[in-house]
Amino acid sequence: MTISDADFHRLASFVQQNYGINLTQKRQLITGRLSTPVKQLGYASFSDFINHLLKTKDEKEMSLLLNKLTTNYTFFMREKEHLDHFRTHIIPEIVQRHQRDKTLAIWSAGCSSGEEPYNITMYLFDYLGSQASQWDTQLLATDISEQAMATAQRGIYELPDTIPPEWKKKYFIHEQGSNYRVTPAVRNNVIFRPFNLMDPIRFRRKFDVIFCRNVMIYFDQPTKDALVRRFYDATVPGGYLLISYSENLSQNSPYRRITTATFQK
């Protein structure tokens, strides 16, 4: 199926305005990922599909669009040095700060299929050791891809070799073949919610740490800057924003840079 210039621009600007994702250089990705499902829905052309989508904002079609157009690539132990820095510098600091209420507030924003929030959980459990049961470490994990979140809720993965063998034993249960399921304790430490990062952030608590890694790379600069300001308002004083090694914040970001990909309010 081919897409006309006009339809490509209509769809790209709709996605950018509503979800932040910049598709202006992604014409092939759109036709490649959407042609078959659009045909399967019974549309003869992209024009018909886009007309219907923009007019009705049909939930099923919107969900298909997001499932197909988001890039959900993620894996356990991604940027391990960054996670290790979180363990050696940030966890001890926030644990110290919360000695009284024993409650940590952490958000994995753009959690995809769940590897990141489960991995953060393992780092927390490992640090707290036998004290873990006395703490509320439950973290929030959000995304706009329903498909990715369904995988996250299932919690079954093929594990990479980079997972420490003792973590494989402690935090996973062997299922079938090469599949492992996260243990109930790890699973229950993560609350998954659909959330569009273009929306106002109105969660009950402010966060000690916000992870938003490999998400803003798909946004243009003004969208990214506005989101970073909303993150800042949703961070406790002294709290952190962690992005990925391949990203940076603009010079005028309100956060203070601590080290690569690590920023503090």
Ligand X SMILES: C[S@@+](CC[C@H](N)C(=O)[O-])C[C@H]1O[C@@H](n2cnc3c(N)ncnc32)[C@H](O)[C@@H]1O
Q: What is the dihedral of CA 84, 241, 189, 137, to 10 degrees?
A: 90
User: Residue 119, interface with ligand X (CB under 6 A)?
Assistant: no
Reference 117, options 148, 89, 94; nearest CA is 148
Q: Minimal distance in Å, beta carbon 13 to ligand X?
A: 15
User: Residue 16, interface with ligand X (CB under 6 A)?
Assistant: no
d(CA 82, CA 113): 20
Give the Cα-Cα-Cα angle 18, 19, 24 (nearest 5 degrees).
95
User: Residue 72, interface with ligand X (CB under 6 A)?
Assistant: yes
User: Residue 50, interface with ligand X (CB under 6 A)?
Assistant: no
Q: Minimal distance in Å, beta carbon 45 to ligand X?
A: 26
Q: Which of residues 83-112 bind ligand X (CB under 6 A)?
A: 110-112
Instruction: Please spell the DSSP secondary structure of 197-253, one letter per residue.
Output: TTS----SS-EEEEE--SSGGGB-HHHHHHHHHHHHHTEEEEEEEE--TT----TT-
Output the CA–CA distances (angstroms, integers) from residue 165 to 80, 135, 172, in the order listed: 15, 25, 10
User: Residue 122, interface with ligand X (CB under 6 A)?
Assistant: no
Nearer to ligand X, 61 or 116 (CB): 116
Stretch that binds ligand X, among 65-73, 126-134, 160-168, 180-188 (CB under 6 A): 65-73
User: Residue 116, interface with ligand X (CB under 6 A)?
Assistant: yes
User: Residue 197, interface with ligand X (CB under 6 A)?
Assistant: yes
d(CA 190, CA 13): 33
Q: Minimal distance in Å, beta carbon 225 to ligand X?
A: 15
Q: Which of residues 207-236 bind ligand X (CB under 6 A)?
A: 213-215, 218
Pairing mode, strands 207-211 and 179-182: unpaired
User: Residue 196, interface with ligand X (CB under 6 A)?
Assistant: yes
User: Residue 74, interface with ligand X (CB under 6 A)?
Assistant: yes
User: Which chain residues interact with ligand X by CB under 6 A?
Assistant: 19-21, 70-74, 78, 110-112, 116, 143-145, 148, 196-198, 213-215, 218, 244
